[in-house]
Amino acid sequence: MTEIHGRDGAWRPSPPPSVGTEIFTDEFVEELRRAGDDPADAAVTTFFEATDAGHAELFTKLAMSSAGAVADEDLPGIGPFVNELEPWPDWAEPELVREGQRVFGDWGPQLGMGLFMASIPADYAFAKGVQALGLTTRLTRNPKRRFVETGQMIIDAMTPGALEAGGRGYRAVRHVRLLHASVRHVLQHPVQIEELGAEAVAPWDESLGLPISQLELLGTLFSFNVMGIEALQRTGVTLSQREAEAYVHVWNLVGHQIGIRNDLLPLSLADSQSLWDVRRKKEYGPTDVGKELTAAAISCMQELFSFTHLPGLPASGIRHYLGDDTADILGVPPADWTRSFFSFLARTDRSLGRTLAQTPAVRSMTAALGRRMWKAFEAYGRQGERPSFEVTDELRQAWGLGS
């Protein structure tokens, strides 16, 4: 690991070498489309072999395990997988991970806006990859759940120190990894799908590859790290090269922990951007499923942003962050006057620059809107005194959310 000299005089590690883009030939990409996550898939198979549980019970117990309502040790296959303390890969650099999490701590309100108006909808434009997401949504009958669960995983993973083996973020990511394996299992067993209370579906189309394959995991990784940085730029925030690489680095670690194969990581910002651009050009296309999920996402955001009394805000935001071409693929309604609102916010925040992160007294309208969004997530779906979503104390303090 080489080192670079920082502005404060400290010697700091440079990002590890990227695996590069040369291996990602069309033939190799097709192999990845048919590759799953062997350890997580084996854990789910063990669960079914060791119990009389059905698919509905698996999803229920996964949710209970994630919330801490059932002991992982009581779940054959599942518990040992969650509790395994897997060391970081050799390329993971602790200081870069901390810096990447610090970027999220500095810009989380703005990043939150981009993640939910850009990162998640961007995945819906992949004509093949979106099919598994659509079927999963039908199984849960709750299209808004993906927003809440994804937001919670991001909060858990980006909290300082949380990705250490056994930490909050580490465990959250491993639960999501098991959820992916469960989806792969259930979609390949259509006879059992009806026990989930969902309508019968046709057998999985093998031409689509494997549900939530290695290729789709990579695409989701890019939608969070590359799209996150692009979204920040569209809010008027420009990261330094090191900050951007650190943000990509921490997401590389999350990608590793969520089951992306060792030979596919780490990827630098430039290589991630290059691969993301190529896959979008080759695989984006309009689908009924993509439009359906986007409509559900807009509905969810309208609910979360109801305090603004601007129902056109989510559609305008998606068009602002993703551009009209992708928004048209997703069937996003035309932007109303609120699109100029986003442009105004970006110009204002750009003029303030790094003062936004370094001086809490300076008010950023984008950050204020983002903070209200995170608070709305916490209020969303409360059951009794326990929220179904919570911002960690460290990030709550960093963003000034109060108690």
Please tell me the distance from the alpha carbon of residue 131 to that of residue 133, in angstroms, as a whole number: 5
Confidence grade of residue 384 (pLDDT, cut at 50, 70, 90): very low
CB within 8 Å of 68: residues ≥ 6 apart: none
Q: Closest by alpha carbon to 227, among 101, 342, 119? A: 119
Show Cβ contacts of residue 146 under 8 Å, excluding neighbours closer than 6 positions: 120, 133, 137
State the average pLDDT over residues 351-366: 55
Give the pLDDT mean for 382-391. 62
Helices (H), 330-379: 338-352, 355-358, 365-379
Do 117 and 320 touch, CB atoms closer than 8 A?
Answer: yes
Residue whose entry in the numeric block shows the structure tokens 């870069």: 96
Q: Over the stretch 243-276, which tens digit does the pLDDT of each residue have?
A: 999 999 999 999 999 999 999 999 999 999 999 9
Condensed to tens digits (0 to 9), the pLDDT of residues 74-125 reads 688 888 888 899 999 999 999 999 999 999 999 999 898 888 899 999 999 9
The whole-chain average pLDDT of the chain stands at 84
Residue-level pLDDT at 235: 87
My answer on whether omega of the bond before 266 falls inside 30° of 0, hence cis, is yes
63 vs 264, residue with greater confidence: 264
Is the separation of the CB atoms in 72 and 82 below 8 Å?
yes
Q: Whole-model pTM? A: 0.89
Cβ contact 119:225 at 8 Å: no
- Residues 175 and 69: their CA atoms lie apart, in Å, by 14
Length of the chain as a residue count: 403
Cα three-residue angle 214-285-143, rounded to 5 degrees: 70
| pLDDT tens digits along 314-356 | 999 999 999 999 999 999 999 999 888 888 777 777 766 555 5
284 φ, ψ to 5°?
-70, 140
**Do 134 and 292 touch, CB atoms closer than 8 A?**
yes
The residue written with tokens 């104390």 in the block is 393
Q: In what helix (H) or strand (E) does residue 12 lie, and over which residues does it extend?
A: strand 11-13
Confidence of residue 205 (pLDDT cuts 50, 70, 90): confident
Q: Which two tokens stand for residue 304?
A: 């979360």
pLDDT at 378 over 90: no
